[in-house]
Chains A and B, each alone.
Chain A
Amino acid sequence: MKNADAKQQPPRRTGPAITAVTTVWLVLMVATGLTAWLIEGRPLSPAVSTTGAMLIACFKARLVAMHFMELHDAPPPWRWLFEAWILGCTAFVLAGWWLA
């Protein structure tokens, strides 16, 4: 391990102390808290809580795909593929719920 360490360059910083991914993580935490409020909120109808929970999940999935998986910097076809998958799954599940 010492030999390996000797080959290392000193750390080079690539961004600010509060990184973009940390901001994204905070937004994801708040969005999950909003989901908790939606599903525990007694006055809300099933339609509102189910639709809200799916739309929040769609928003969170997109944040993870674009910022954690770094698809915002990926070749466009890859980005479109995952955007379509997230939106398509959300739309199909919601359509199924409303039609049922």
Chain B
Amino acid sequence: MPGSPTMRDAARRLPGDAGLWLFIAADTAAFGVFFLIFTAGRAEQPALYRESAQLLNAELGLLNTLLLLTSGWLMALAVKAARERDRPLLVRRLKQAILVASGFAASKAWEYTAKMEAGITLLTNEFFAYYYIFTGIHFLHYLVGVAVLLLTLSKARQQPLDAGLQSWTESAASYWHMVDLLWILLFPVVYLQR
């Protein structure tokens, strides 16, 4: 019976490549371990973590959140365009998603440079070691994500918009949303615990 629970269950699927979702699950689990390590460290030295966190630029972190959320939204619209077989709209949404995402790189470069110039490095204390390691690993994920978006844009320009490209776009979007998801939790954990 159409629309019945059984039919809906049968239609349930993960967007994009199933193998990629195993990677996404493993990667999010790894960040879960990062949060555990950070929280355990903070429990031992709450004053150090609190004072160190106040040296971070929370406004810049909020800006980064807005940029990633907006880029993720544009990527979700790109997936919709791919499903509708609207190639010009897909190309436009991908360009917009990449353009907005580029603001994150500029912001992180500014942030890291300012910290280095203030003499705050990986060796300053335990908090800043975790700050550089965890935000740095996230930034590497971001760079991979931007490369995947650029590759998707290239494919969208050159290849027919068929089921294969739709699946590729869904996979690229799923990875990109993971980068967004990780930042949403990483930001308050590192920057906002007072």
A and B assemble together: yes
Residue positions of A touching B, CB distance < 8 A: 1, 4-5, 7-15, 19, 21-22, 24-25, 28-29, 32, 35-36, 39, 46, 49-50, 53-54, 56-58, 60-61, 64-65, 67-71, 73-76, 78, 81-82, 85-86, 88-90, 92-93, 96-97, 99-100
B138 in the interface, Cβ–Cβ < 8 Å?
Answer: no
When chains A and B are docked, how far (Å) is the Cα of A72 from the Cα of B188?
25
Residue positions of B touching A, CB distance < 8 A: 9, 11-15, 21, 25, 28-29, 32, 35-36, 39-40, 42-43, 46, 50, 58-59, 62, 65-66, 69-70, 72-73, 75-77, 80-81, 83-87, 89, 157-162, 173-174, 177-178, 180-181, 184-185, 187-189, 192-194
Q: Is B185 in contact with A19, judged by CB distance below 8 angstroms? A: no
9 residue pairs of the A-B complex, CB under 8 angstroms, read: A29-B70, A46-B50, A78-B21, A85-B28, A85-B29, A89-B35, A93-B193, A97-B193, A99-B43
| Shortest CB distance B76–A (Å) | 4
Q: Is A13 in contact with B84, judged by CB distance below 8 angstroms? A: yes
Q: Is A89 in contact with B185, judged by CB distance below 8 angstroms? A: yes
Q: Is A61 in contact with B194, judged by CB distance below 8 angstroms? A: no
Pairs A-B, 6 closest by C-beta atoms: A46-B194, A11-B86, A96-B39, A25-B73, A100-B46, A21-B76
